[in-house]
Amino acid sequence: MKYGYARVSTINQDLKGQIDILKEEGCEIIFKEKFTGTTAERPQLAELIQTLKEGDTLVVTKLDRLARNTKDGIEIIESLFDKGVNVHVKNVGLMEDTSMGRFFLQTLLAVAEMERNMIVERTQEGKAIARQRDDFREGRPKKFKKKNIEDALRMLDEGMSYKEVSEMKQISVSTLTRAKRKAKAEAIEKASK
């Protein structure tokens, strides 16, 4: 039987592209999950490995969808070879349980891990450079402009309820509460100077 495994790293990413490829490849059952490759916790992969038996084929679109790093990839694929499971990586081909197949596997996984590490390094370098700028702010950009928040706080001060202001300004009650708390703290700090 042909099984597929699809994985993306974040909740916001879409599995559809991988699933379409796996269906085209003739996978009868597809296991899918949204877990970062850096975590060992991948329940769907664990269940799939338990399900596979001798003569089955596991299909993945790319090797890094299956493994977190070189060591992890070699362990997973060797355990599958030991069970008599064929492994087909779409962008590489059928991985065989031969000396050449194992060498090819180790080389590919090492390159994929190096590529991931380089991406992390470049991201960290970019952040370090950005932190040197005066206008750098860590984290997500603010969703609401300062004027919108000020208007909402003014409405609260005029006696409107948090719920009314939230519905009117399309700002969540929790955001309004935080803004109100921050404004109060700033007013106290200003008064104490």
Among the listed residues 7, 133, 1, 152, the one whose alpha carbon sits nearest the alpha carbon of residue 72 = 7
Query: Which positions ≥6 away from 68 have C-beta within 8 Å?
Result: 37, 38, 39, 40
Alpha helices in 8-141 (DSSP H): 16-24, 43-51, 63-66, 70-82, 99-131
Query: Which 3 state secondary structure label does DSSP give 36?
Result: coil
Catalytic, 161? Answer no
Determine which one of 9, 99, 166, 174 is catalytic. 9
Is 41 in contact with 67 (CB distance < 8 Å)?
Answer: no
The interaxial angle of helices 162-169 and 146-157, nearest 10 deg, is 150
- C-alpha 150 chain-centroid distance: 35
| Residue 68 near residue 117, CB atoms below 8 Å | no
Q: Do 2 and 27 contact (CB within 8 A), yes or no?
A: yes
Catalytic residues, which ones? Answer: 9
